[in-house]
Amino acid sequence: MDPMIETLAQELGRTQQQVENVVKLIDEGATIPFIARYRKELHGSMDDQLLRQLADRLQYLRNLDARKGEVKSSIENQGKLTDELSAAIDAAATLAEVEDLYRPYKQKRRTRATIAREKGLEPLARLLFDRGPAVVPDQAALPFVDPEKGVETVEDALQGASDIIAEEISDNADIRKELRELFLRRGMLVSKAAQKEPEDSVYRLYYDFKVPVGKAQGYQVLAINRGEREEILKVSVELDPETAHVAVRRMTVPGAAAMDFVRAAADDAYDRLIEPSMEREIRNTLTDQANEGAIHMFALNLKPLLMQPPVKGKVTMGLDPGYRMGCKVAVVDGTGKVLDTTVVYPTHGQRQKQECIDKLSALIRKYGVEHIAIGNGTASRETEQMTVELIRKVGGGVSYMIVSEAGASVYSASKLAAEEFPQFDVNLRSAVSIARRLQDPLAELVKIDPKAIGVGQYQHDMPQARLGETLDGVVEDCVNAVGVDANTASPSLLQRVSGLTAATAKNLVAYREENGAFTTRKQLLKVPKLGPKAFEQCAGFLRVPESKSVLDNTGVHPESYAAAEKLLSQCGYTLEDVKAGNLSELKEKAEAIGLERLAELCGAGAPTLADIIKELMKPGRDPRDELPPPILRTDVMEAKDLKPGMELQGTVRNVIDFGVFVDIGVHQDGLVHISKLPRRVRHPSELLTVGDIVTVWVIEVDEKKKRISLTMKKPQ
């Protein structure tokens, strides 16, 4: 068995066969959503998150394997590869260990040690460093004094020998491994203010800050890094020098021919070479861990944001607030088609505000607007107050919701928005986007770079390629979990479907515009460049509501249609019953026969059969409909209305390392610190996700600093 497969199976707690099956599917070009949904029997029903973890780790191990090959080849070309060294490289578990072993054989820039070697001092270094009878350094150095080679005195010879020994100690893989562990176990991450009398800033917590390396939190590391880049903080990693010296001496000095001399060289090796290098390495390790943690947190927050329940089929008015340029307005129908647009000026005075209310009232009556989506940017507060007056004027029947407009301006100015709405200016496009975000958050947010959606920490400090790759994976998982209507979806949404690319998504839209709506899933094969492999990957995720076959509007894959029909037959149903929604007892009947036996009769695996049953019972189902609906409001509240102890309902907007931010309808999200959550957790994400509807109580309101402190622990 491939050692890589063994490693992955051990790390993930899965059988080697399951891991091997997934690796084979990935190598064949299958996407993670497809593997997760339609190949459950092969991997024991791993979810998309675990499969992505497997794929990431597989890539790391393959890179590690490739690097081992490069290192061995390089050392072999130097004629220095021994069986022992080759075995040590093969056994290395991390890239850091491989680089440690390679270090002595790497091409170096000219160092003090290389200069000493050029002067012929390596034999002296060997004599003093190697285990053997005691020697007197001064006497041993005399034969190496040679002015022609630049070795004027005994001191020069000994200094050169010391430099060679120090570099050898610094390049020793075992010593570096020991010190790395020592730094991680006993080192301290320290930050201080760069100025003697620093000004108050967001970094004030870190003006005199010290934390054990092993206990440094990701958000602390990222904040300190940013403060250092802005030259507000000075940062170091500190380890008691004596502890480090003892560790190095223990591994180098005993038995050396000149022990005192080698002890001094070992101390120099640590102070001059190892300590600065180790500090850089530990800082990089902490930063990598913090980045991975922050990227993971961003991904965790993004998923529930994309999966927010849609407010479907309602005529919606989108308001993009503003002062100087006015409030941009767009009315869209239940499918998101633009019905009307205008600009009003509610912040330009009482007369203009009244004109705005009159104008919007007319639009509400004309188009039957039921919901209003208000962007949460500049002038949002005033626009919300105007909206409440507007709702009173039209006599109710209309509700509103504040919608995050993060990324809306990025989308409005994009090439995609220009193609979608060539007739509208940039500002009106953002009003359309805000309205559609209430109607179907997923369909609208896929048009925006996930990094611009703003539900993370320090996203601009992250390795952008890694962040983008992770967030794209989240978007892909969400789109495929919901399913996409092949006849109405935009190219932006379609290109996120398993097996489709930007080109095939455009081809699909062009095909339906030219030939009319798709009437079967099989028809997808007529789309240019959408071949059998792409069809296999995408067909189960694309819905065709117009098809005569009800199965084309479910998550049942075409490869399982025969199994679905056999299942219905065994349980006494037909496809007509699926259409009519007469399958309330399907699950019970299937369980009575026995899922394993039924799977055998239908020629499908039990996990696949369980999924087919779910799909047949709710054809065209949207998993988002099962979540709590968003909070729609009809009245406005301000921070000054809040009082300690007040109970409120709110929506979780962001989950971070030290707590959660909750929208309670007052324009300023309140913070529930991790210590104020209902029960003790290591991380808030164990308890809450973005979009959760929660009950909170007000602790304190600081209007000056715009801070609202909340708790989820009911006051006694």
Token output for 689? 């996700």
The CA distance from 594 to 596, in Å, is 6
Q: What is the pLDDT of residue 330?
A: 94
The edge-to-edge listing of strands for the beta sheet with 208-212 is 208-212, 188-193, 233-238
Q: Which amino acid is at 483?
A: G
Token output for 126? 């060997």
Q: Of 665, 669, 666, 660, whose CA–CA distance to 712 is shortest?
A: 660
639-711 falls under which CATH superfamily? Answer: Nucleic acid-binding proteins (2.40.50.140)
Q: What is the pLDDT of residue 485?
A: 93
Kindly report the CATH number that applies to the domain delimited by 316-463.
3.30.420.140
112-187+239-298 falls under which CATH superfamily? Answer: Tex N-terminal region-like (1.10.3500.10)
Q: Which residue blocks in 446-487 are alpha helix, DSSP H?
A: 464-482
Q: Which residues touch 329 (CB under 8 Å, ≥6 apart)?
A: 317, 318, 319, 320, 341, 342, 343, 344, 360, 363, 431
Q: What is the pLDDT of residue 1?
A: 59
CATH class for domain 3-105? Answer: mainly alpha
Token output for 452? 């611009």
Residue 473: phi and psi, rounded to 5, are -60, -40
Which residue, chain included where needed, has tokens 């400090």?
A: 461
Q: What is the pLDDT of residue 459?
A: 67
**Cα–Cα separations (whole angstroms), residue 88 to 2, 146, 341, 563:** 18, 40, 69, 52
The CA distance from 136 to 144, in Å, is 14
Domain boundaries, the chain: 3-105, 112-187+239-298, 316-463, 639-711
Q: What is the DSSP string of 155-196?
A: HHHHHHHHHHHHHHHHT-HHHHHHHHHHHHHH-EEEEEESSS
**Cα–Cα separations (whole angstroms), residue 252 to 139, 344, 520:** 22, 79, 75
The 10 Å CB-count burial string (b at 16+, else e) for 436-457 is: bbbbbbbbbbbbbebbebbbbb
Residue 153: left if φ>0, alpha if ψ -120 to 50, beta else—which one? Answer: beta
Q: Which residues of the chain have pLDDT under 50?
A: none
At 420-472, the pLDDT tens digits run: 888 888 888 989 999 999 999 888 888 888 877 766 666 677 788 888 888 88
Angle CA(306)–CA(307)–CA(312) in degrees, nearest 5? Answer: 105
pTM given for the model: 0.79
